[in-house]
Amino acid sequence: MFETQQNPNWCPGCGNYGIWNSLKLALQELNLKPENIAFTSGIGCSGKIPHWIRAYCLNGLHGRALPLAEGIKIANSELIVIACGGDGDGYAEGTNHFIHFCRRNANVKYFVHDNQIYGLTKGQPSPTSNEGFITKTTPLGTIEKALNPVLIAIASGATFVARGFAGDIPHLKELMKKAIKHNGAAVIDILQPCVTFNKVNTYEWYQKRAHKLKKPANTRIKAMRIAEQWGKKIPIGVIFESNEKSYEQRIPLLKKSPLMKLNPKKNIKKLFNELK
Amino acid sequence: MKSEIAWQLSGEAGYGILSSGEMFSKILKRLGYCVFSGTEYPSQIRGGNNSFTMRASKEKITSLADKIDLLVALDSASIEMHKGLLSKGSAIICDSGIKANIKNSSMIRVAFNELTNKYGAYKKVLMATVGIGASCKALGVEKKIALDLIKERFKGKNPEVIKSNVEAFINGYDSIKDNKDFRKKIIKGKDKGLMLINGNDALSIASIIAGCKLLSCYPMTPTTSIMEYYSKHQESCELMLHQAEDEISAINVALGASYAGVRSLVATSGGGFALMNEAISLAGSAEIPAVIVLGQRPAPATGLPTRTEQGDLRYAIHAGHGDFPKLVLAPGDAKDCYELTLEAFNYSDKYQLPAIILTDKYLAVSSESLPEFKTSYRINRGLIENNPKALERASKFKRYAFTKSGISPRTLPGTINGMNCSIGDEHDEQGYIIEEAIDRKKMMDKRERKFESMKKELRGKGVEVWGDNNSKKVIVSFGSTKGIIIEALKELKAKFLQIKIVHPFPAEELLKKAGKHSKLIVVENNQSGQLSSLIAQHTQLKISKKLLKYDGRHFSISEIIRGCRNV
Ligand SMILES: Cc1ncc(C[n+]2csc(CCOP(=O)(O)OP(=O)(O)O)c2C)c(N)n1
Ligand code: SF4
């Protein structure tokens, strides 16, 4: 259903394959129609994922997948809108959009392929690289602390925040299904091994630490405590979920019908008269 | 021109100068006058000098006057600041406490302070109303027409507001006696039913007629009032106003909505436009329709945020990295703003490219009295394939199919079998990323064909001729200098060519309309002569003179006359 003619050109063994397979399964199991799904993506190895899924795709600029997605959702709230990108894309170039997307609670799903490195530009540190991480451009190790996207998402007001692992397809697929069904801003930070450039955060590295949560926290404060864990144990699963009106639901105009389908009778004469 | 009057209301920020000024303009308009008004204010919320200047005439006028006949000075600084513009026989309405005397002007003293002391927090704005009352009396305007307007304007507000404004107006009106030295009087006529409309309002209305449903913005002078227009008419016209976190987001939201099939608008000024550049290039590559208003103000950087300039002409034309087709339109007045905005939406959709509407602060906020605009308009959404039967069941629809015109039909999300990949990376017909030299060239050429197709359609529409068509003296300009030049033509014998489409540059048309052996004077509100350089780049026309101004202010009529007279 969601297969395309072309196949992905990621490095063999790349974590992106796990994300790709999880995503296709999730869409399938939710019985979604390809024409009703609109993907947006940024630039990076990650940003190519929608090319290889049979659905609508708008592959934009580095860091700008979210505003494109928000625009599509504003225009046609009947669509399922999913934004994809990498950790550099979303947490460096697009940080501003990320935070405001969360606080806006736009009904868009945001799946971040977090490989803790810049893949497509061949291995520079990313905002989620652990402190001391050695790359070609940081031979002595990075000197900045890693940012914690899950913590930021919760603190910024996202109503569904989860962490997944590309090496656990059944688990990730379920997270994606929940995110898609959720009403509001849903963020999944996905631990994604980059087998070519990140020799530290490997499948084994994540496997050893990934620790499945049973259920989400019921307050933001509790969720933030869980989100802070990053060490021997890294929690995966839904970390926070709450039921709030989405951005689109708060717009009175969109309650009537999607913007796309509105066809109001406009009284232009009145607009002219106001100026007299 | 006996029937003409130039009036100014001036004081610190916080006196409600703009809204009182607009009210006075309306009074004169309803007395059968043609009105043109503008406003100057610094980029600060309290203090500084704010002024509202208005010119009213029985004849059609298209700019402000170079002088002031009646100045309402709400503080003594206003007199100092504007005294140079006062005409012979003019008058200054000011507070009784101000002792200054100005040669050639009579002083009409009104107890502004005393009359408004009781209004507490509203003292300042009611001082402006007192000034309107005094102005009406000085010019011989009947009380009734003004009082009706006050009531109309505050309809639905707290009755106290109406009461205090009526009172302040009457007190101002009654406090001055006949002044023999000030002879200007209004000659009452019939209301011609004109609108008082500025560039931003004209553009907003046009966008609504064009079926635009989303304004995605980040506030920036001088385009913020477009946001206000949308928010005011949100319900009645079913519009959506999205205030984004920054201009990068604003334009990407608009592109997303446009991709999904909703006509969208973004409006900004130079700084915000700079942030939008990468996305303009994306619109070029992914072939997403986009309409962008660039309201210029003096730069570099934050420049003079509330003043005017035309320094972004080249920038608009070259916006976005790389070579790709786009359209840049340069309206010269409110009517142009209206007409070109309607066109911008159709061209942008038809050719699937970004269309930039280049205005400036002077054009954005200057109001002109004009008859209602024509509303006949056909929306052309371009090639959108929405019949699933016509679409094959392929894994991806050929979004970028090679065609003769360069225009490829698009499909909107939600359409069965229309799934496609729209993309900023270089791509093949299906939207898949390509690397091969030959494929790259083919796609570049396809996009260029759209530009050529558009050029054909635009032929003959880029240059408008004004003034004396036989004159060898040819003034060329773009944008908001239009109205001022047209005024100057009342005294100059010259032809005036207004360039309305600045990209694609209407070279042939300009050559033809300028005629052979003409003496070209290019008038621009910028330092480097950006239009002049475009003319030199695209034509063999010789430029005899560049008349440039870049002090953050618009040209005056006499500056144009002086600058063009001896060429
Ligand atoms: C504005 C801009 N800056 C820089 C780049 C170069 N660039 C492309 S992808 C990328 C980072 C990729 O890292 P990430 O977002 O983590 O994605 P990954 O490739 O790891 O999936 C960069 C810096 C660009 N395309 N655009
Ligand atoms: S560089 Fe890394 S992220 Fe990119 S495809 Fe290869 S393994 Fe995957």
Q: Of the candidates B196, B252, B424, which has its C-beta nearest A71's C-beta?
A: B252
* Token pair in block for residue A56: 């609508």
Q: Nearest residue on chain A to B31, judged by CA atoms? A: A276
Mean pLDDT, chain B, rounded, equals: 96
Q: Which ligand is closest to the CA of A64, given by its number?
A: 1
Contacts of A59 in chain B (CB under 8 A): 286, 421-425, 431
Query: Do B242 and B101 lie in a common domain?
Result: no
Is the residue at B234 inside a domain?
yes
DSSP string, B236-286: TTT-EEEE-SSHHHHHHHHHHHHHTT--EEEEE-HHHHHHHHHHHHHHHHH
Is the residue at B377 inside a domain?
no
Mutation test residue for ligand 1: of A9, A43, A129, the one with most atoms within 8 Å of CB: A43
Query: Quick check: B414 contacting A, CB < 8 Å?
Result: yes
B409: preceding bond cis by omega (within 30 degrees): no
How far is it, in rounded angstroms, from Cα B497 to Cα B482?
9
This prediction's pTM: 0.97
Q: For residue range A246-272, list pLDDT tens digits in order.
A: 999 999 999 989 999 999 889 999 999
Residue positions counted in chain B:
567
Q: For residue range B543-566, list pLDDT tens digits in order.
A: 999 999 999 999 999 999 999 999
% of residues, chain B, pLDDT over 90: 92
Sign of CA dihedral B538, B541, B542, B547: negative
B214 CA to chain A: closest CA distance, Å?
A: 8
Contacts of B256 in chain A (CB under 8 A): 40, 58, 67-75
- Please give the pLDDT value at position B390: 83
Query: Do B134 and B20 lie in a common domain?
Result: yes
Is the residue at A92 inside a domain?
yes
Q: For residue range A117-174, list pLDDT tens digits in order.
A: 999 999 999 999 999 999 999 999 999 999 999 999 999 999 999 999 999 999 999 9
Check whether B1 has a pLDDT greater than 60. Answer: no
B171 CA to chain A: closest CA distance, Å?
A: 26
Q: Which residues pair with B327 in a beta bridge?
A: B355
Residue type for position B270: G
Q: How many A from CA of A65 to the centre of ligand 1?
A: 12
Contacts of A84 in chain B (CB under 8 A): none
CB B415 within 8 A of CB B399: no
Query: Do B446 and B472 lie in a common domain?
Result: no
CB spacing of B252 vs A6 below 8 angstroms? no
* Contacts with A, B 178-197, CB within 8 Å: 193-197
A71-89 mean pLDDT: 98
Query: Do B163 and B220 lie in a common domain?
Result: no
Query: Do B215 and B357 lie in a common domain?
Result: yes
* Token pair in block for residue A251: 């717009």
Q: How many A from CA of A74 to the centre of ligand 1?
A: 27
Residue located via tokens 């007395």 = B31
Check whether B297 has a pLDDT greater than 90. Answer: yes
CB spacing of A64 vs B197 below 8 angstroms? no
- Please give the pLDDT value at position A256: 86
Contacts of A34 in chain B (CB under 8 A): 419
Q: Tell me, what CATH number does B43's domain have?
A: 3.40.920.10
How far is it, in rounded angstroms, from Cα A268 to Cα A272?
6
- Per the structure, how many domains does chain A have? 1
Instruction: Count chain A–chain B contacts defined by CB atoms under 8 A.
Output: 195
B84-104 mean pLDDT: 94
CB spacing of B209 vs A64 below 8 angstroms? no
Give the mutation candidate from A57, A248, A269 for the B interface (greatest B CB count, under 10 A). Answer: A57
CB spacing of B214 vs A78 below 8 angstroms? no
Check whether A13 has a pLDDT greater than 80. Answer: yes
- Please give the pLDDT value at position B516: 87
Contacts of A35 in chain B (CB under 8 A): 413-419
Check whether A233 has a pLDDT greater than 70. Answer: yes
A10 CA to chain B: closest CA distance, Å?
A: 13
Domain limit, last residue, from B347, B370, B393: B370
- Please give the pLDDT value at position B179: 74
Distances (CA, A) of A40 to A110, A160, A182, B77, B82: 10, 19, 18, 56, 55
Query: Quick check: B384 contacting A, CB < 8 Å?
Result: no
Taking each helix axis from N to C end, the angle separating B199-209 and B224-232, rounded to the nearest 10 degrees, works out to 50
- Please give the pLDDT value at position B181: 82
CB spacing of B205 vs A260 below 8 angstroms? no
B477 CA to chain A: closest CA distance, Å?
A: 29
Listed in sequence order, the DSSP H helices in A76-219 are 87-88, 95-104, 149-156, 169-181, 203-209
Q: Which residue, by CA, sits nearest to atom 23 of ligand 1?
A: A121
Domain boundaries, position A244: 16-275
A207 CA to chain B: closest CA distance, Å?
A: 33
Query: pLDDT-derived band of residue B180, with 50, 70 and 90 as boundaries?
Result: confident
Is the residue at B56 inside a domain?
yes
- Please give the pLDDT value at position B3: 80
CB spacing of A272 vs B257 below 8 angstroms? no
Q: Of the candidates B257, B282, B415, which has its C-beta nearest A35's C-beta?
A: B415
Query: pLDDT-derived band of residue B2, with 50, 70 and 90 as boundaries?
Result: low
Is the residue at B147 inside a domain?
yes
Query: Do B357 and B404 lie in a common domain?
Result: no
Query: pLDDT-derived band of residue B387, with 50, 70 and 90 as boundaries?
Result: confident
Q: Tell me, what CATH number does A93's domain have?
A: 3.40.50.970
B318-330 mean pLDDT: 98
Is the residue at A262 inside a domain?
yes
Q: Of the candidates B250, B372, B424, which has its C-beta nearest A60's C-beta?
A: B424
Which residue ranges have their beta carbon within 6 Å of ligand 2? Answer: A 10-11, 14, 16, 45, 115, 119, 194-197
Mean pLDDT, chain A, rounded, equals: 97
CB spacing of A276 vs B193 below 8 angstroms? yes
Domain limit, last residue, from B438, B458, B478: B458
Query: pLDDT-derived band of residue B21, with 50, 70 and 90 as boundaries?
Result: very high
Query: Do B236 and B361 lie in a common domain?
Result: yes
Q: Of the candidates B195, B423, B431, which has its C-beta nearest A276's C-beta?
A: B195
Contacts of B195 in chain A (CB under 8 A): 272, 275-276
CB neighbourhood size of B264 (10 A): 33
How far is it, in rounded angstroms, from Cα A145 to Cα B161?
58
Q: Of the candidates A78, A252, A272, which has its C-beta nearest B372's C-beta?
A: A272
- Please give the pLDDT value at position B141: 95
Query: Do B10 and B159 lie in a common domain?
Result: yes
Comparing A81-90, B40-49, B235-244, B419-428, the range with the smallest average pLDDT is B40-49
DSSP string, B111-142: -HHHHHGGGGGGHHHHHHHHHHHHHHHHHT--
Domain boundaries, position B400: 383-458
Distances (CA, A) of B204 to B40, B241, B307: 22, 12, 21
Query: Do B338 and B437 lie in a common domain?
Result: no
Query: Do B412 and B318 lie in a common domain?
Result: no
CB spacing of B242 vs A74 below 8 angstroms? yes
CA angle B79-B81-B86, nearest 5°?
Answer: 65
A67: preceding bond cis by omega (within 30 degrees): no
Mutation test residue for ligand 2: of A46, A194, A206, the one with most atoms within 8 Å of CB: A194
Identify which has the larger pLDDT, B216 or B44.
B216
ipTM over 0.90: yes
Q: For residue range A234-246, list pLDDT tens digits in order.
A: 999 999 999 999 9
Taking each helix axis from N to C end, the angle separating B530-538 and B507-514, rounded to the nearest 10 degrees, works out to 90
Query: Do B141 and B203 lie in a common domain?
Result: no
Distances (CA, A) of B348 to B161, B264, B333, B372: 46, 11, 21, 25
B197-206 mean pLDDT: 98
Is the residue at B106 inside a domain?
yes
CB spacing of A76 vs B193 below 8 angstroms? no
Q: How many A from CA of B254 to the centre of ligand 2?
A: 31
Burial annotation A40-56 (CB, 10 A radius, 16+ → b, else e): bbbbbbbbbbbbbbbbb
Query: pLDDT-derived band of residue B177, with 50, 70 and 90 as boundaries?
Result: confident
% of residues, chain A, pLDDT over 90: 97
Is the residue at A66 inside a domain?
yes
Contacts of A69 in chain B (CB under 8 A): 256
* Token pair in block for residue B456: 């054909």
B431 CA to chain A: closest CA distance, Å?
A: 8
Is the residue at A8 inside a domain?
no
- For B97, half-sphere exposure in the C-beta direction (CA atoms, 13 angstrom radius) is 8
Q: How many A from CA of A92 to the centre of ligand 2?
A: 18
- Per the structure, how many domains does chain B have? 4
* Contacts with A, B 288-317, CB within 8 Å: none
Sign of CA dihedral A101, A104, A108, A111: positive
Query: Do B345 and B454 lie in a common domain?
Result: no
CB spacing of A260 vs B261 below 8 angstroms? yes
Is the residue at B305 inside a domain?
yes
CB B179 within 8 A of CB B108: yes
How far is it, in rounded angstroms, from Cα A172 to Cα A23?
8
Give the mutation candidate from A267, A272, A273, A274 for the B interface (greatest B CB count, under 10 A). Answer: A272
Q: Of the candidates B264, B413, B424, which has its C-beta nearest A56's C-beta?
A: B413
Q: How many A from CA of A63 to the centre of ligand 1?
A: 8
Contacts of B194 in chain A (CB under 8 A): 276
Check whether B45 has a pLDDT greater than 90. Answer: no
Sign of CA dihedral A231, A237, A241, A246: positive
Is the residue at B50 inside a domain?
yes
DSSP string, A29-81: HTT--GGGEEEEE-SSSGGGGGGGSSSEEEE--TT-HHHHHHHHHHH-TTSEE
Q: Tell me, what CATH number does B513's domain have?
A: 3.40.50.920
Q: Which residue, by CA, sits nearest to atom 25 of ligand 1?
A: A62
Is the residue at B375 inside a domain?
no
* Contacts with A, B 430-489, CB within 8 Å: 431-433
Domain limit, last residue, from B137, B170, B193: B193
